[in-house]
Structure 1
Amino acid sequence: MLVVRQPPCRPTPAGELLLRRVRPMQTLQAEALADFLPEERQGAVVRPIAIAVNSDSLATWFLGALSDLNQQHGYLFDVRVDDQDHTLKLLRDGSVLGAVTAEATPVQGCEVLALGAMRYHAIAAPAFASHHFHAGVNAASLALAPMIVFDRKDELQWRFVRRITRARLAPPIHYLPTPTGFVEAASLGLGWCLAPDSLVRPALGEGSVVLLAQDRWLDVPLYWQHAAVRSDTLHNIGAVLRRTAASALRS
C-alpha cells in the first residue's frame, strides 16, 4: 500500500519512502534529457521544483534567491511553507527535494549546507511597552502582556520567555499567521512579539515600535537540507541560497 485514498490523499510510510527515492530521480532524469536530447526539451513543460521554507525566510531574503534561480536557469518552484522546526517533515515524507530548516542534523540520504542565522528582536508599540513593561521585562510582566504568536507550531516567543525566566507562564495569546503582519500588529498595540531584524529595522526608524530588551535577542541558525544526489539543479539552488543568505543572515 503506497497511498491512503482519503481527502486529502496522502502516502503511507512505504509511499513516503518511495517518494524520497523518486523525486531526486525525476530531477536527474530531466537533467539527462536536457544534456542528451535537448530537442525534446524545446517547448516541454518544466516541472516545478518542490522545496520547503519557513515563512520568515520567505518574507525576507528567500524570494531574491528564487528570482535569481529563475532568471539564470529558468527554474519553476513549488514552494511549501512551514515553521523552520517543521519543514524537515516535508523532506522526510518525500514531498520536497530540499528544505530550509533549523535542524543541522541531516535527514537520512540528505546533505546539509549552513546558511547563517536569522536574528529576532522582541518588539512592541511604545505605549504598549510603557504600560506592560514599565517595571522591566520579567516573569511578572511577561505573564500579563498579550503575546503575538504565528501559530501553534511557533516556539520563538516561548524560547525568548525561557531566556528571561524559568517560570511557567500562561500569557494572553493572539495567533496571527502572517510574518509581515507581525510588525504591524505590534505597532498597533495588539501585543508583543519576536520579528526578524530586517523587518524590525524600518519600524524602529519610524518609531512605531521599540525593542523590549536592547541586549536580548534570539538567533536562529538556518540550514539548507537536500537530497544527496549529484544533481546540477540542487547544486545551483544551494549555491544561490548560500550567496543570498550571506548578505541577509548573520554568519
Structure 2
Amino acid sequence: MLDYAGLEALAAVLREGSFERAARRLHVTPSAVSQRIKQLEERVGQVLVLRGSPCTGTDAGRRLCLHLEQVQLLENELRRANPDLLAGSSGAPAPTLKLAVNADSLSTWFMDAMAAFTAGGNELLDLRIDDQEHTGERLREGEVIAAVTATGAAIAGCNTWPLGTMSYVAAASPAFIVRHFAHGVTPAALARAPMMIYDRKDRLQERWLQAHGLATRAQPPRHALPSNFGYVRACEVGMGWGMHPTALIANQLAEGTLVALLPNAPLDVPLYWAHPRSAQQSLTRLTQCVMAAARHCLEAPPGAT
C-alpha cells in the first residue's frame, strides 16, 4: 500500500516548486513535508524529488504524482455519484488535472472543451502550453495526465484518438506583401522577408515552405513572439509573415488586414488526444468534452462520420 500522505506531499512540492510553499499549501511545517517525502523515498527505494530552485521530480516521482491524480479523480467521481458513501470526506480538495495543449488549440477550440468540462464538475485544470509536436513528450514523461498532440504514433501505455485537422494559412499585411513580394512569393524573396515564429520549437513556417516548394538554404530573418494575440498583431502591423490557424484569423482575412501569401495553399496539421490507458475511466467525461469541441472547429479526421 502506498503512503498517500507522502504522495500528497510529493505532489505539493512538485506543483509548488519548493518545500516551503508546499508546506503552506498543506498547512504543515516544511520539516513535516521533508519527512513525509523521505519516508516515501525509503519505501519505494528511489529518489523522487530533485532539490533545486524550483524542485523537480524524477521520472519515478512524476509517475507517482500521476497515479495520485488518477486516484483523486476516481474518488471525486465516486463522491459525486454516491455522496452518502464518502460522507466523511466531503471536505476533500477538488482534484487538479495537468494537461498539455498547444497555444493555437487553446486560442480556438480547446477553450470550449474546458468550459464544458468545468461546468459539469468541480475538477480544476492546470495547463502546460507547448508546441503540438512536443506535448506528447510531456505525457510520456508523466508531467501531464493528458495532451493534445500532433503525434499520431502510439505512445507507450496511452490511448490516442484523432481529433481532426487544424488548417493553417501563411499570411501577412497587405503593405508587407507589397514591400517584400512585389515580384511574387518566390524562394529568393522569402529568404529575405522577415518571418514570425512563436518560439524556438515552432516549425510550421518551415513545413509550409517545404510543402509548397519554397524552401531555400538561406535562413530568413525571424522574429520570435510567444503570444497568439501578439503574433497576429505583429503580422497585421507588418513585422513579418507567419502561419496562423485559419479559424483564428478569419475576421482579419475577411477584412483584409491580413492576406494569404499564396491562394489555396494551406498547411493541415492533424491533432490527437492522448492519455494513459490506466486513466481512461477517470478521464471519460473530459475526453467527451474534448472530442465534442474538436468536432465543432476542426476538420473531421479521415474515416469519421
Call closer, same or farther: CA 1:102–1:33 in 2, change over 3 Å: same
Tell me which amino acid in the other structure corresponds to 2:54: P
Distance across 1 between alignment mates of 2:88 and 2:118: 21
> Offset of 1:209 from its aligned partner?
1.1
Tell me the CA shift for residue 46 of structure 1: 0.5
**% identical aligned pairs:** 39
The one-letter code matched in structure 1 to 2:169 is H
The offset of 1:75, in angstroms, is: 2.6
**SS where residue 77 of structure 2 aligns?**
helix
| Contact 2:72 2:95 (8 Å CA) reproduced | no
- CA RMSD in angstroms comes to 1.8
SS in 1 for 2:115: helix
Structure 2 partner of 1:107: 155
Q: TM-score, normalised by structure 2?
A: 0.77
Q: Distance in 1 between matches of 2:139 and 2:279?
A: 17
8 Å contact from structure 1 (residues 104, 112) kept in 2: yes
CA shift in 2, pair 1:202/1:181, >3 Å: same
- From 181, 192, 211, the equivalent of 1:144 is 192
Q: Which of 1 and 2 has higher RCO (CA within 8 Å, sep 6+)?
A: 1
Superimposed CA distance per residue, residues 6-26 of structure 1 (whole angstroms, 9 cap, x where no aligned partner) = 122122233344445443334
Q: Which residue of 1 aligns with 2:259?
A: 210
The code of the aligned residue for 1:102 comes to: A
Larger Rg: 2
Q: CA deviation at 1:39?
A: 2.0
Cα deviations across residues 2-52 of structure 1 (Å, max 9, x unaligned)? 221112212223334444544333433433444553424534320221111
Deviation at 1:74, TM superposition (A): 2.9
Listed as ranges, the gaps of 5+ residues in structure 1 are none
Task: Pick from 118, 135, 147 the counterpart of residue 70 of structure 1.
Answer: 118
**Matched residues in 2 for 1:118 and 1:51: separation?**
19
TM normalised by structure 1 equals: 0.93
The 3-state SS of whatever aligns with 2:283 is: helix
Structure 1 Cα separation of the partners of residues 78 and 293 of structure 2:
28
Unaligned runs of at least 5 residues, structure 2: 1-46, 301-305
Moved more, 57-66 or 22-31: 22-31
SS at the partner of 1:204?
Answer: helix
Q: Which residue of 2 aligns with 1:187?
A: 236
Deviation at 1:250, TM superposition (A): 0.9
